[in-house]
Structure 1
Amino acid sequence: MDADVLVVGAGPVGLALACALLQHGVSVRVIDRAAAPATTSRANFVHARGSEVLDRLDALSGLPEESVRAMTITTYAGDRAIMRIRFGDPGMKTAAPPMVISQARVEARLRDRLAELGGAPEWGSALVAADQDADGVTAVLGDGRTVRARWLVGCDGSGSTVRKLAGIGFPGVKLSERFLLVDARLDTALDRSGTSGWVHQEGMLGAMPMPGGHWRLLAYDPAFQDDKPGEEQIVERMRRILPERTGLRDIRLLDASWASLFRVHRRLADTYRRGRVLLAGDAAHVHAPFGGQGMLTGVGDAENLAWKLALVVRGGAGERLLETYEAERRPLATQVLRGSSATTKVNIASGPFGRFLRDRVLVPVLNIAWLQRRVTYTTSQLWVSYRRGPLGGGGRRPRPGDRIPDLDCTRPDGTPTRLHAELRGRWAVLGDGAAFDAARRRLGDLVVHLRPTGPAPTMLVRPDAHLACKGGPAEITRWLDGALA
Structure 2
Amino acid sequence: MAPDVLVVGAGPTGLATACGLLRQGVSVRVVDRAEGPAVTSRANFLHARGSEVLDRLGALRELPEESLRAMMITTYLGDRPIASLRFGDPGLRTAAPPMVVSQARVEAALRDRLAELGAAVEWGSTLVDLQQDSTGVTAVLGTGESVRTGWVVGCDGAGSVTRRLAGIGFPGVRISERYLLADLHIDWDLDRSGTTGWVSPAGMIGAMPMPSPNADLWRLIAYDPAEGGVKPSEREIVERFRRIVPERTGRSDARIRDATWVSLFTVHRRLAEVYRRGRVLLAGDAAHVHAPFGGQGMLTGLGDAENLAWKLGLIVNGRADESLLDSYEAERRPLATQVLRGTTAVTKVNIAAGPVGRFLRDRLLVPVLNLPWVQRWATYSASQLWVSYRRGPLGTARLTREPRPGDRVPDLHCVCPDGAVSRLYAELRGRFAVLTPGAEEQGGVASVQRRPGKHVVFLRYVDDRREMWLVRPDGHLAWRGRDVSLLERWLTTALSTGRAKR
Residue 450 of structure 1: aligned partner: 459
* Aligned residue number for residue 413 of structure 2: 408
Partner amino acid, structure 2, of 1:475? L
Tell me the amino acid that sits aligned with residue 396 of structure 1: R
The answer to whether the aligner puts 1:370 opposite 2:380 as a matched pair is: no
Q: Shift of residue 224 of structure 1?
A: 4.5
1:174 paired to 2:174: yes
**1:135 alignment counterpart:** 135
Q: Match for 2:473: what amino acid?
A: P
Partner of 2:197: 197
- Partner in structure 2 of residue 73 of structure 1: 73
**Would you say the 8 A contact 2:411–2:425 is kept in 1?**
yes
Q: Distance in 1 between matches of 2:227 and 2:477?
A: 49
Alignment of 1:38-57 (within 5 A): 38-57=38-57
Task: Provide the C-alpha distance between the structure 1 equivalents of 2:445 and 2:454, rounded to a whole number of angstroms.
Answer: 11
- Aligned partners of 2:275 and 2:287 also within 8 Å: yes
1:222-261 matches, cutoff 5 A: 222=225, 224-225=227-228, 227-261=230-264
Which residue does the alignment assign to 1:350?
Answer: 353
Matched, 1:424 2:435: no
Contact 2:304-2:332 within 8 A present in 1 as well: yes
| Mapped pair 1:273 → 2:271 | no
Note the 1:300-319 alignment, pairs <5 A: 300-319=303-322
| Counterpart AA for 1:370 | W
In 1: Cα distance, 2:104 partner to 2:233 partner:
21
**Alpha-carbon offset, residue 315 of structure 1:** 0.7
Q: Describe the superposition over 1:42-76 as per-residue Cα deviations: whole angstroms up to 9, x where unpaired.
A: 00000000000000000001101110100000000
Equivalent residue number for residue 341 of structure 1: 344
Does the CA-based 8 Å contact 1:210-1:216 persist in structure 2?
Answer: yes
Please give the secondary structure, in 1, of the residue aligned with 2:451: helix
CA distance in 1, matches of 2:128, 2:340: 30
1:252-309 CA deviation, whole Å, 9 max, x = no partner?
A: 2111100001000000000000000000000000000010000000010000000000
Distance in 2 (CA, whole Å) between partners of 1:179 and 1:120 is: 34
Q: Confirm or deny: 8 A CA contact 2:291 2:344 kept in the other structure.
A: yes
Distance 1:148 1:96 in 2: 40
Counterparts of 2:27 and 2:200 in 1: how far apart (Å)? Answer: 52
User: Unaligned 5+ residue runs, structure 1?
Assistant: none
SS of the aligned residue for 1:301 comes to helix
- CA-CA distance at 1:442 after TM superposition: 1.7
The separation in 1 between residues aligned to 2:57 and 2:353, in whole angstroms, is: 43
| TM-score, normalisation: structure 1 | 0.99
| TM-score in terms of structure 2 length | 0.95
1:92-103 matches, cutoff 5 A: 92-103=92-103
CA distance in 1, matches of 2:328, 2:230: 38
**Cα deviations by residue, 1:376-422 (Å, 9 ceiling, x for unpaired):** 00000000000000000132211110100100111123211000010
Conserved 8 A contact 1:438-1:476: no
Residue 139 of structure 1 aligns to a residue in which SS? Answer: strand
CA separation in 1, counterparts of 2:474 and 2:221?
34
Aligned partners of 2:83 and 2:463: how far apart in 1? Answer: 41
- In the alignment, structure 2 segments of 5+ residues that lack a partner are 497-502
Q: CA RMSD in A?
A: 1.0
Amino acid in the other structure paired with 1:450: L
In structure 2, the residue matched to 1:467 is: 477
Distance in 2 (CA, whole Å) between partners of 1:94 and 1:371 is 20
Larger deviation, residues 229-238 vs 28-37: 229-238
Note closer, same or farther for the CA distance 1:189–1:138 as it changes in structure 2 (3 Å cut): same
Q: Specify the code of the residue in structure 1 equivalent to 2:417.
A: P
Deviation sequence 1:416-456 (CA, Å, 0-9, x none): 10000101111111003145413222222111111121233
Tell me the secondary structure at the aligned position of residue 454 of structure 1: coil
Any runs of at least 4 consecutive aligned residues in structure 1 with deviations exceeding 6 A, and if so which? none
Letter in 2 for 1:477: E
Deviation by residue 1:13-32 (Cα, 9 ceiling, x = unmatched): 00000000000110000000
What is the aligned partner in structure 2 of residue 439 from structure 1?
Answer: 448
Matched residue type, 1:334:
T
Tell me the distance in 1 between the aligned counterparts of 2:349 and 2:108. Answer: 34
Give the counterpart of 1:398 among 403, 410, 425: 403
**Cα contact 1:3–1:150 (8 A) shared by 2:** yes
Distance 1:79 1:313, change over 3 A: same
Identical-residue share of aligned pairs (%): 69
2:314–2:452 CA contact under 8 A, matched in 1: no
For 1:434 and 1:350, locate their aligned partners in 2 and report how far apart those are by CA, in whole Å: 66
What is the DSSP-based 3-state SS (H/G/I as helix, E as strand, rest coil) of the residue aligned with 1:176? Answer: strand
The amino acid that maps onto 2:421 is P
* Residues 406, 419 of structure 1: 8 Å contact kept: yes
CA contact (8 A) 1:400 1:466 kept: yes
Residue 399 of structure 1 contacts residue 467 of structure 1 at CA under 8 Å; is this kept in 2?
yes
In structure 1, what residue type is equivalent to 2:406? G
Name the counterpart of 1:483: 494
* Distance (whole Å) between structure 1 residues aligned to residue 119 and residue 444 of structure 2: 35
What is the number of residues matched between the two proteins? 485
Q: Shift of the alpha carbon at 1:223?
A: 5.4
Amino acid of the residue matched to residue 106 of structure 2? V
Secondary structure, counterpart of 2:83 in structure 1: strand
Q: How far does residue 33 in structure 1 lie from its aligned partner after superposition?
A: 0.5
C-alpha distance after superposition, 1:159-207 (max 9, x if no partner):
0000000000000001110000000111010000000000011100000
Does 1:288 pair with 2:297? no
Q: C-alpha distance in 1, partners of 2:56/2:355?
A: 47
Q: What per-residue deviation string (whole Å, max 9, x for no partner) do you get for residues 353-393 of structure 1?
A: 11111112111211100110010000000000000000001
Partner of 2:390: 387
User: 8 Å contact 1:435–1:476 — kept in the other structure?
Assistant: no
1:111 aligns with 2:111: yes
